[in-house]
Amino acid sequence: MPERASGDSVLQLLAPLSGWVLPLDEVPDAVFAGGMAGDGVAIDPTGHALHSPCDGVIVLMGAARHALTLRTRGGDLLLHVGIDTVAMGGAGFTLRVRDGEHVRAGTLLLEFDLDEIVRRAPSAITPVLLVGARAGQVSRCQHARRVAVGDPLFEIVPDGAKATAAQATAAYASPREAIVSSAFRIPFDHGLHARPAARVAAALAGIDAQVKFSVHGREADARSPVAMMALGVQRGDIVTADARGGGASAALTALEGVLERVAETTPAAGMALSPARAHTVITPPAKAPSPGARLDAVIASRGLAAGAAAPLVDVDPPIGAAHGDASAERARLSAAIDAVGARLRAMAASGQAARRGVLEAHEALLADPGLRLRALGQLEGGASAGAAWRKSLRNAAASLAALSDPRMAERRADLLDIERQVLRVLNGDTFEAAIELPARAIVLASELLPSQLLSLDATRLAGVCMVDGGATSHVAILAASIGLPMLVAAGPAVLSIAAGTPLILDAEHGQLLVAPSADEQARISAVIEQRARQRAEDHSAAGQPALMRDGARVHVYCNLGAVAESAPAIVSGAEGCGLLRTEFLFLDRAQAPDEGEQLAVYQAIATALGGRTLTIRTLDAGGDKPLAYLPQAHEENPALGMRGLRTSLARPELLDAQLRAIVRVAPPGQCRVLLPMVTELDEVRTVRKHLEAISAALAVPAPKLGIMIETPASALLADQLCAEVDFLSIGSNDLSQYTLAMDRLHPTLAARLDAVHPSVLRLIAGAVQAALARGIEVGVCGALATDAAAVPLLIGLGVRELSVVPAQIPRIKSLVRTLASAEGAQLAQRALELPSASAVRALAREWSEHHA
C-alpha cells in the first residue's frame, strides 16, 4: 500500500486498524481524552492487526508490546492498542517489526488478541496520536465512521516545525544559564508509560523552562512523552530533573503534582575535576549507606580491591552556541570529528588487544556516515555544531537503548562516549586533561565510559563501581583486560558515598563494602598482597606444562577472538587454542568475509601459535551474537532460534567458504574444526560430508572434526555423537543457559546462572565419560574452565583439557599443579549428589580451604 500524500508536505495517515473512529474526547481515559498525550483520533477495533498508517521508522516502547511509536516526517505517532493494556505485560500481543525498522504505509506492525484485551483491559479503544515535538498539526480527522485498514484517517499539515527546532536550540545554546535540579521517584505502577509520560508533559505546558530527565545514564526531554517512554523507567526508579530557563523552579514544582519529589540536588563533594569537564554535578537522592553496609552489584570484571571512595561526578560537556552560519558549523563539526578519529587511531596503534578493539570500535562508530549526515541535517535547521552532533548521537543511542538485546543497549554507552569526545573538541578542551585520582582510588560513577576509564591514572586506580552499566559493555571488557576489578548495576546509593570513605570492592562475590571495620580492611589488604605475590610466581612458571601432583598432565589452551590475542596468549603459556570464536573476527561488517580473507586471518593465527593446535569454531552467529552481514528474521526467542550451526547449515555457501579457508591453512593438521550448537547426529554428518568433499578437492587430509557440547541434547546423545566426531569441547556457558532455562544475558538471573549446578555437572560427566570410552579428546572451553572453584571439579570429572581466557593461563596452570586425580574424583562425586549450585560452591570453597 503506497503512502498517499495530498501534496508535497501534507502527510496523509491511513487507518492502521479496522473499526469505528472516535474523537479523542470519547476515549475512556482522562489523559488521552484531554489531549495530554497528543492530538489525533481513536479507533474502536474490530480487527486484530495493527498496520503502519504511513512510512516511518519504528521506535519500540519497551517490553510490553502494547504500543509503539512511528517516527514519521510529520512527527512521532503513538499507536497505543487499548487502554491500560500496559498491565497485560505484553501477553496477547505479537510484534511483527523490530525497533529501528523502516516500514511502509500498510506494513503489519503488531497482532493482538482482541478477546484477551476485552477480557483484561478497561477498553480496546486505540488512540492514534501525533505526540511530542511536532512538525505539523492534525487536520481533517475522519470521525464517527467505520474504517477499513488503509482508509484515510487524518492528515498532518506542516507548521511551526522550524520554530520548535529553533526554540529547542536556543534553550540548549545557553549552557551557562543556571540549572536547578531535583530528584523524583516514579509512582506509576507500570513506570513512565504512555499516559503518565503524557501527564508529565502536560504538567509542564505553558512553563518557560527546558526540563531534562536523567536516569540510568540516559536523558530525555520531559516535554516529549515518546522520549520519556524510551527511558524505560519503572515504578520506584529515581529520575533527576534538570530545569533551566525563567520558569525552572516553577517547572520542578509542577512536576511535584505528578511525581514524588525525593530531594533537591546539591553539588557533590566529589573528586577534583578539571573545570572544563565539570559541567553538571548531580548528587543522587539515595540515602548514604551506613558504615558496614554491603551493596549488591553485578560483577563486570572479577577481582578484589581495597581503597578509598573517589566519586566521579557525571560529566556532560555543554553543547555551545553556533560560531557562524551552517557552513561554518559544518566545517567545525567535521574538523572535530576528524580530530577525535585521529586521536582514537593513534591510541589504538599501541597497547593490548582489548584496548585496541574498543578504540577501533569507537573509531568505526565515529566514521558512521549516518551519524554525520543526520548531524549535518540538523545544522541546516540552524543548530550549533554541538547541538547537531548531540542530537544525532542521542537519537541513535535512544534507538539502541530501546532494543531488547542488552548487548546492543550497552553500545549506547559507546555512542555517548564519542558524543562527549567530539563535544570536548568543539568546546576547545584539550584531550590530555586527565582526571586526578587519590591513591588506591575506587571510582564510583553513574556510568563510566571507555574513554573516561582510559583517561584515569591506572597507577592510582584500584577498582570501579557503577550505579548502572552492563557486564558485557566495552568498559567492562577494558577493565577485565587490565585486571581491574569492576562492579556494575550497584544502584544509586553508590553515588551518595562520600569521597575518601574506605571501601572494599569485592568483585568476586558481587558486593561493595562501605566503611568496613579496620580488621576487615587489614584482612582484605593481606589477601590482595598475597595474591600479587602468587601472580608473580604463576607468571614465572607459565611456560611449563601443568602436571598434577600425581604426574597426570592437563593441557591448558586459550580461547581467542582476534588475531592480536594469539602471540600474547603463547607468552602466557597457552599450549594451543581450544576455541577460536570466528564470529568475533569479522564483526561490524556489512558483507560476509570471503574465503581468502578468512584464510589470511586463520593463517596469521596459526602462524602466531607456532604449530600448536588451532581449534576453529564455525560461525556461531544469531542469538546473542547478531552479525550485520547475516541479517535474520525477527525471532521471538533468538536463543532458541536460528543460531550456531543451524545458521551455517541454512547458508551452505557460507559454511563451505569457511571450511575451505580452514582446510587451506598450512601446515595441514594444525587446525581442528569445531561445530557450535549441535543437537543431533545428522547435523554433524552433513558437515562431515562437506568437509571431506572440500578436503578431497584440495587434496589435503580432512582436519579433525569436533563438536561443542552446549545443549542438553548433545550432552545426552554424547555416546552416539562420539562415534562420529574426533573430539568434544564443552561449552559451559550455553550448556548452563539451556539446562537451567535462564537467558545468559538476563540481568536479574545472572547471579543464579551458575554452571556448577549439579544438573550441568551431570551432563558434563556424561559427555566426558562418553568421550573417554571412545578414546577421543574432550575439553572444556566455556567460562567454567577459567573458574578456579570449578577446575578441581572438572579435573575430577575426567577433563584433561581446559581452554581459558589467555590472561588466566598462568593462574589455572598453577592451580592444576596443586591437584591430584583421585582427590578430584572424590570431590566431583560429592558435587554430583548435591541439590543446587550454591551447595556445590560451598563444597568447593570448603574443599579448597582445606586443600590450601
715 binds ligand PEP (CB under 6 A): no
320 binds ligand PEP (CB under 6 A): no
734 vs 787 by CB, closer to Mg ion: 734
447 binds ligand PEP (CB under 6 A): no
What part of residues 226-265 is at the interface with Mg ion (CB under 5 A)?
none
CA dist., res. 737 & res. 106, Å (int) = 39
Least distance (Å) between residue 711 CB and Mg ion: 9
Stretch that binds ligand PEP, among 160-168, 373-381, 385-393, 725-733 (CB under 6 A): 725-733
The DSSP call for residue 35 is T
Among 136, 386, 510, 782, binds ligand PEP (CB under 6 A): 782
Q: Closest by alpha carbon to 708, among 647, 600, 781, 814?
A: 781
384 vs 786 by CB, closer to ligand PEP: 786
734 binds ligand PEP (CB under 6 A): yes
Residue tagged active-site, from 193, 474, 555, 757:
474
| Residue 732's binding partner out of ligand PEP, Mg ion, none, with CB under 5 to 8 Å set by partner kind | ligand PEP
| Residue 219's binding partner out of Mg ion, ligand PEP, none, with CB under 5 to 8 Å set by partner kind | none
Least distance (Å) between residue 312 CB and ligand PEP: 32
CA dist., res. 251 & res. 247, Å (int) = 6
Stretch that binds Mg ion, among 102-110, 208-216, 691-699, 708-716 (CB under 5 A): 708-716
242 vs 710 by CB, closer to Mg ion: 710
CA dist., res. 445 & res. 468, Å (int) = 8
181 binds ligand PEP (CB under 6 A): no
Among 710, 743, 754, 777, binds ligand PEP (CB under 6 A): 710
757 binds ligand PEP (CB under 6 A): no
| CA 797 and chain centroid, separation | 34
Stretch that binds ligand PEP, among 263-271, 319-327, 687-695, 729-737 (CB under 6 A): 729-737
11 vs 755 by CB, closer to ligand PEP: 755
Which residues is 708 bridged to in the sheet?
Answer: 729
Would you say how long the chain is, in residues?
852
Stretch that binds Mg ion, among 440-448, 496-504, 721-729, 734-742 (CB under 5 A): 734-742
Least distance (Å) between residue 731 CB and ligand PEP: 3
- Contact (CB, 8 A) for 289 and 247: no
Peptide bond into 667 cis (omega under 30): yes
Residues 6+ apart with CB under 8 A from 226: 59, 69, 76, 78, 131, 132, 197
Q: Closest by alpha carbon to 42, among 16, 74, 62, 68?
A: 16
303 binds ligand PEP (CB under 6 A): no
731 binds ligand PEP (CB under 6 A): yes
Residues 6+ apart with CB under 8 A from 578: 557, 558, 559, 613, 615, 729, 779, 781, 801, 802, 803
Among 781, 799, 809, 837, binds ligand PEP (CB under 6 A): 781
Stretch that binds ligand PEP, among 56-64, 268-276, 347-355, 726-734 (CB under 6 A): 726-734
Residue-wise over 620-656: b if at least 16 C-beta within 10 A, else e?
bbbbbbbbeebebeeeeebeeebbbbbbbbeeeebbb
CA dist., res. 414 & res. 588, Å (int) = 14
Among 82, 284, 578, 731, binds Mg ion (CB under 5 A): 731
732 binds ligand PEP (CB under 6 A): yes
Q: How many residues bind Mg ion (CB under 5 A)?
A: 3
Q: Closest by alpha carbon to 95, among 119, 53, 67, 55?
A: 67
214 vs 729 by CB, closer to ligand PEP: 729
- Which helix (H) or strand (E) covers residue 791, if one does? helix 791-796
Residue with cell 537503548: 401
421 vs 733 by CB, closer to ligand PEP: 733
744 vs 800 by CB, closer to ligand PEP: 744
| Residue 781's binding partner out of Mg ion, ligand PEP, none, with CB under 5 to 8 Å set by partner kind | ligand PEP
623 binds Mg ion (CB under 5 A): no
Least distance (Å) between residue 779 CB and ligand PEP: 11
535: buried, middle or exposed (CB in 10 Å: 19+, 13-18, 0-12)? middle
Q: Which set of grid coordinates corresponds to residue 400?
A: 539502541
Which residues is 559 bridged to in the sheet?
Answer: 579
535 vs 646 by CB, closer to Mg ion: 646
Query: Known catalytic residue: 102?
Result: no
CA dist., res. 109 & res. 96, Å (int) = 5
CA dist., res. 375 & res. 177, Å (int) = 24
Among 12, 733, 739, 814, binds ligand PEP (CB under 6 A): 733
What part of residues 566-585 is at the interface with ligand PEP (CB under 6 A)?
579, 581
Least distance (Å) between residue 779 CB and Mg ion: 14
465 vs 790 by CB, closer to Mg ion: 790
Query: Known catalytic residue: 143?
Result: no
CA dist., res. 827 & res. 849, Å (int) = 13
CA dist., res. 235 & res. 197, Å (int) = 13
Q: How many residues bind ligand PEP (CB under 6 A)?
A: 10
Residue tagged active-site, from 558, 671, 722, 781:
781
Q: Strand 577-581 and strand 614-617: pairing? A: parallel
| Residue 310's binding partner out of ligand PEP, Mg ion, none, with CB under 5 to 8 Å set by partner kind | none
- Contact (CB, 8 A) for 624 and 744: yes
Among 710, 743, 754, 801, binds Mg ion (CB under 5 A): 710
- Which helix (H) or strand (E) covers residue 581, if one does? strand 577-581
Least distance (Å) between residue 649 CB and ligand PEP: 17
583 binds Mg ion (CB under 5 A): no
| Residue 581's binding partner out of Mg ion, ligand PEP, none, with CB under 5 to 8 Å set by partner kind | ligand PEP
- Contact (CB, 8 A) for 589 and 628: yes
Stretch that binds ligand PEP, among 46-54, 195-203, 229-237, 727-735 (CB under 6 A): 727-735
559 vs 814 by CB, closer to Mg ion: 559
288: buried, middle or exposed (CB in 10 Å: 19+, 13-18, 0-12)? middle
Residues 6+ apart with CB under 8 A from 819: 548, 549, 791, 792, 795
123 vs 759 by CB, closer to ligand PEP: 759
620 binds ligand PEP (CB under 6 A): yes
* Cα Rg, the chain, nearest whole Å: 29
Q: Strand 577-581 and strand 441-445: pairing? A: unpaired
Contacts with Mg ion, residue ranges (CB under 5 A): 710, 731, 734
Contacts with ligand PEP, residue ranges (CB under 6 A): 579, 581, 620, 710, 731-734, 781-782
Residues designated catalytic: 474, 781
